[in-house]
Chain A
Amino acid sequence: MKPEDMYDGVTNIRDDLIENAKKPKKRKLWPAAVAAALAVAVALGGVAALRSGNGGPVFDGGGKVVTLASAVYPKRPAYAGDGNGERSAYEAWREALRERRLDQEEREALDTWERAMIPALLSGDNGENAVCSPVSLYLALGMLAEATDGASRQQILDALGADSLEALRSQANRVWNALYNDDGSYTLSLGSSIWLRDDYSYEKTPLKRMAESYYASAFSGEMGSAEYNEALQKWLNDNTGGLLEEAVDGVELKSDTALALATTVLFKDKWAVRFNPGLTKTGVFHAPSGDVEREFMFESGLMTYYWADKFCFVRLEFESAGVMALLLPDEGVTMEEVLADPAAVALLAGTVNPDGAESEYLRVNLTLPKFDVTQDGDIGEKVRALGITEAFDQWRADFSPIMGDGLSPENNVYLSKVLHGARVTVDEKGCVGASYTVMVTNAGGALPPDQEVDLVLDRPFLFSVLSEGIPVFAGIVNDP
């Protein structure tokens, strides 16, 4: 008997032994997290002068920041895809994972907001980098819907494609659970919080619903105080891994703020197949403001390549189920034109084979710049562009579900700002391109591809980061 016979013997062990062995971890190429990104959205309402003593302070914070409720995240079986534990632990983990997954119908129900938000949030880039987190805004708007009523709420439901508040609540909860991952295999961490005044009595029901369905923590403190703002900033930094510190420094609540709702996303994953660092070299990126020298990574692999009359598109696989979508507009085509193209938006939003784009499975020689893009600011105008206007109207906004009916018209609570910041970095340590993309193709077939294309992203391009087919981040790289 030879060693190769033993190898063949091992090859032929029973199916169930192969199936049941702890799923091997994908090759760890880098000890540190390599692709990281995060987003934070803060929605806050303001009032000219809140009548203090309306119901009296609920919690006597004494000027201190009080944690009213800490989010209770759903209990999940520990990650057992790689460990040393019992088989039953592995099965429990797998089963929980299966249950969290969205089915196709649930996924399609998200199309409305996914496809509306990407162009709304990325339009008007003015040659600057743009980046946003559609899912962070979705969850913040979901909480806002809990706090509002009447037309204010209806417009949010319409923008998010939900039939009712109950339907939105349960959908958002499913999305949260499908995305959230802290089991040690990769990071997709979601945070929600409610920031309340310590001198006002709020209605309990919406707070309870935000806690239950959005896993929101609730805090109370002296609105506008340095201490309270520091607590908010610390919460934002803690939940975004400190990646947005500069932007977070500018997030402040004023003494006339009635309440603030915050959501965060932190994402870290490695490429399924890394870019060979030896092939990285300096090259010219044709930015709108002129040519600049940037570092370009190179990867050649078999993947599904999409093309339409205005752009071409590929996906790079992460170690987790997620992918990064890369969309390069044809030369001479503007970002606005691409963002108005339904096929382009559908691809960025996670649809695999949209109408209007051809695809072929072939060898792609991909040249991709390393990039680190950040954007932050008040996106109130962009949220209005989604059709959400009533909540911003000082006289018409209806926040009665959370504020109660005790406010006079002059003191009406309305949505004054939507602060949103996001950052996506694709650096060399983590940047690894996919040799194979996981998707259904209508081409490729049984024959090995004999075509190949060069895809050189040396001019402005769009990207999105998708997990479970949901756009967690989307952006425009005008200058990497």
Chain B
Amino acid sequence: MFDGPVRKREGGEAVEDTGIIELYFARDERAIGQTRSKYGAFISALAGRLLDDRRDREECAADTYMAAWNAIPPQRPDSLRAFLGRLVRNLAISRFRKNRAGKRYAAMEAQLSELAETIPAGDDVEREIEGRELGRFLSRWLDTLSAGDRDLFIRRYFYGENVEELARDMGEKPNTLAQRLRRLRLALRDELEKEEFTNEA
């Protein structure tokens, strides 16, 4: 029996993630409500940054709750925020893959074309890379960066914030920031090259 806190009013102390996850495990539908309560704004904002189409965004956010319901259990996320963020990103790119011919995906395309720069020249495009392996590699690489560069990279490429937004927030010129991002992408490419990144890396 779950006896965790249940929010009665908005703005209240956030419910602990472990309490929400217990609700999922108990197949208690309040799990969805509490997830929405605590992470709804985060999910909508992330979907909004990755997808241009309004309906896409709404559906992506709605699908995230469903996906969380279906994934927990068996999964038991350590960080619900990171877990939900990954769901949103995965759902967003699936929409892009499915509908790219018929819809505008400027935000996603901008991200992908920037990320293309990180791929070492001569890399075999057919080579399959497992996302989790690459994730581990990227995490290690991010650890070596300064706090400012690390945040910049994650905000741009995980959270999907655009350069103008980031520049405004950081009080820098968009051009300056774009160049800083480019340097980061090239540094990542060098690192991938150096490590001869493969499936086994």
Contact of B58 among A8, A83, A435, A469 (CB under 8 A): A435
For this complex, 25 residue pairs linking A to B, each with C-beta atoms less than 8 Å apart, are: A4-B112, A5-B134, A9-B129, A9-B135, A10-B89, A10-B135, A10-B158, A12-B86, A12-B136, A13-B135, A15-B82, A16-B79, A17-B150, A17-B154, A21-B151, A22-B151, A27-B165, A102-B13, A104-B13, A302-B58, A352-B7, A438-B37, A441-B33, A468-B11, A469-B11
Question: In the complex the two chains form, what is the Cα distance from A283 to B152 in whole Å?
Answer: 46
A435-464 at interface with B (beta carbon < 8 Å): 435-442, 444-446, 448
Whether a CB of chain A sits under 8 angstroms from the CB of B95 is no
The interface residues of chain A lying within 8 Å CB-to-CB of B58 are 301-302, 435
The interface residues of chain A lying within 8 Å CB-to-CB of B83 are 15
Pair B11/A27 contact, Cβ less than 8 Å: no
Chain B count of residues within 8 A CB distance of the other chain:
82
**A11 with B135: in contact, given A102-B12, A352-B8 (CB under 8 Å)?**
yes
- In the complex, how many angstroms separate the beta carbon of A185 from the nearest chain B beta carbon? 11
Question: In the complex the two chains form, what is the Cα distance from A107 to B12 in whole Å?
Answer: 8
- In the complex, how many angstroms separate the beta carbon of A469 from the nearest chain B beta carbon? 4
Q: Interface majority SS on B: helix, strand, loop or mixed?
A: helix
Binding site for B on A (CB under 8 A): 1-19, 21-22, 24-28, 82-84, 86-87, 98, 101-104, 107-108, 272-273, 276, 301-302, 315, 317, 321-323, 350-353, 361, 435-442, 444-446, 448, 466-469
Q: 1/0 per position for B76-109, CB-CB distance to A under 8 A?
A: 0011011101100110010001000000000000
**A444 with B111: in contact, given A11-B131, A13-B154 (CB under 8 Å)?**
no
Question: In the complex the two chains form, what is the Cα distance from A336 to B142 in whole Å?
Answer: 61
Pair B69/A446 contact, Cβ less than 8 Å: yes
Contact of A466 among B11, B38, B116 (CB under 8 A): B11
**A19 with B155: in contact, given A3-B113, A11-B90, A469-B9 (CB under 8 Å)?**
no
The interface residues of chain B lying within 8 Å CB-to-CB of A446 are 29, 32, 65-66, 69
The interface residues of chain B lying within 8 Å CB-to-CB of A18 are 79, 81-82, 85, 154, 158
Contact of A11 among B8, B33, B57, B89 (CB under 8 A): B89
Contact of B165 among A6, A28, A322 (CB under 8 A): A28
